[in-house]
Each structure stands twice: as structure tokens, then as C-alpha cells.
Amino acid sequence: MNVGFIGLGIMGTPMANHLIDAGHTLFVYDVFKIPAEVTDKGATAVASSAEVAKNADIIILMVPDTPHVDEALFGKGGVAEGLTAGKIVVDMSSISPVETKKFAEKINALGCDYLDAPVSGGDVGAKAASLTIMVGGPDAAFEKVKPLFEKMGKNITLVGGNGDGQTTKVANQIIVALTIEAVSEALLFASKAGADPAKVRQALMGGFANSRILEVHGERIVTRNFGPGFRIELHQKDLNLALSSARALQIALPNTATAQELFNAVAARGGGKLDHSAMVQALELLANHDVA
């Protein structure tokens, strides 16, 4: 297929590379410099999102937040300027479900289909092509794009209509944040009590408390490896979506709010660009004890 890819960051670069490796022709654009590894593999760098849309039948976006998607789609030189009827726009960013529905309506008015397809799995999943992909949109468009999804992920689910993919991602981010908090508390407790947190983690991985978060982020906590896979500032954005949506739905998400405050505390001390496993630093500050 002729595929467009907009957003070649920590996640987008390996995702685009998998598509190139699968034999697809890629046209790529980013507001920053295109990584050489993408063009070295044969991708064609173009001057704007509109140029991506002109050249590609399926246009994928992987950018940080709702305003970035809005700009990439409808700003000057945006995707909308290069679309012709019958193309498919796929937003794999994690953004507002409400705005997603509005974006879909605008793209549909141009005679094109729209899929919201946010992912979970972080940079590890992007590199391993093992992402979980949560899709909202029409069945026919999903079936056309599914072969591309299968080159980037493993667990691929059409959840429902436009916006439902983003709603699922928000739910995912609630679970991830609360599980990071639970793992952080458990390892902090073990360390303060005098046990070896690395061995405690190893023991817990054999029981009912095991999780992907304990496996990956628990290791980050005990080895003090907080280089970003998924940045705190991005998880803050996702929890803001959760909490603002909760207010609109008139439901309470008390533990989500607590997790956000812990992220806020780390960010306030300059840690917004650290991996979200660094949430433990807020708890360590409260305990006057570092997991080590």
C-alpha cells in the first residue's frame, strides 16, 4: 500500500519502520527532523502533512496530543488539504474522545473514512511490533487497514464507532497509572521494611500480583532506570482526559485523581519528561526513603 505516516517520534519511528519492512511504500512528515533510519529504509520525506495525504491512500498520525492532531489534520498544509474521496485517515495518537468524533465528522465530509486507533505498549511494544491497538470507526475501513495494524501490533480490536477507540485508551491509562502506583507502594514498603526490592519483585511475579507493570516498570523502579519510554507529561495528559470526561459523565474517579497528583508532584520537581514509572519518586519523597 501507499501509506502516509505523520509523527516520527519514540513510538512513530519503529511503527513506520515495521511498515517499510513489510514492503509498504511510505511517505513521511514530522515537524522535527525525520530520523535517518526511516529514510535510509526507503521512506520518502515530504514537506507537509498535505503532501503526505496527496501521495498516500492511508494516512496514519502518531502525534502527542489533541491540538497536534487538529493542526496536522486541519491546519495550514494539513492532511485535509491533500485528501481526495476514498482515502482513510487513521489517528493512532492518544487524544480526546470528544474531539475525535468532531475530527471524524470533518474527514467524513471530505468523502474519506476515519479510524481512531490509539495504542498501548510503549516504546517496547512499538519496537517489538506487539502493541495493543484499540480501534473506533467503520468496519469496512478497519478491514482495509487491519493488515497494517498487524505489522505494528498483536492485540487488535475494533471496539465500536469513532471515539470508542480513544475511550478505551483512556480506560487503559487509568489502569496503567493505578497499577504503577500500586507497584510503587509495594516496592517502597518492601524496601523500607528492609527486604531486597529486586527479590521481592521476583517473588511477586510468580503469584497473583504479577502484571506487565510489575515486570517492566517494577524493574525500572529497582534499577532506577527512568529514561522515557512513556513520559510522565504524556500520562498527565491522558489522565486529564479521564478526569475531565468523568466530570462530564458525573462520575467520581478518586484513585485516578490521586495518581494524577503523584505525577504532578514529580513533574513539579522537573520530572515531567521521565518515564511514568518515576511516579515512585513522589512516594519516596513522602516516605523520605528511596527504593534501592
Integer Cα distance of 8 and 27 in angstroms: 11
**Ramachandran region, residue 178 (left: φ > 0; alpha: ψ -120 to 50; beta: rest):** alpha
Distance, in Å, from the CA atom of 141 to the CA atom of 90, rounded to the nearest integer, reads 10
Q: How far apart are CA 69 and CA 75, in angstroms?
A: 9
Does residue 124 contact residue 103 with C-beta atoms inside 8 Å?
no
Q: Under a CB-based contact definition with an 8 Å cutoff, are residues 118 and 94 in contact?
A: yes
Q: Which residue has the cell 462520575?
A: 251
Closest CA to 48 of 56, 40, 38, 39: 56
| DSSP conformation class of 209 | T
Active-site residue, 87 included: no
Q: Which of 41, 127, 169, 237 is catalytic?
A: 169
End-to-end CA distance of the chain: 49
Tally DSSP H helices, then E strands, for the chain: 14, 9
157: Cβ–Cβ under 8 A, 6 or more apart, which residues? 132, 133, 134, 135, 168
The Cα 121–Cα 152 span in angstroms is 11
User: What are the catalytic residues?
Assistant: 169
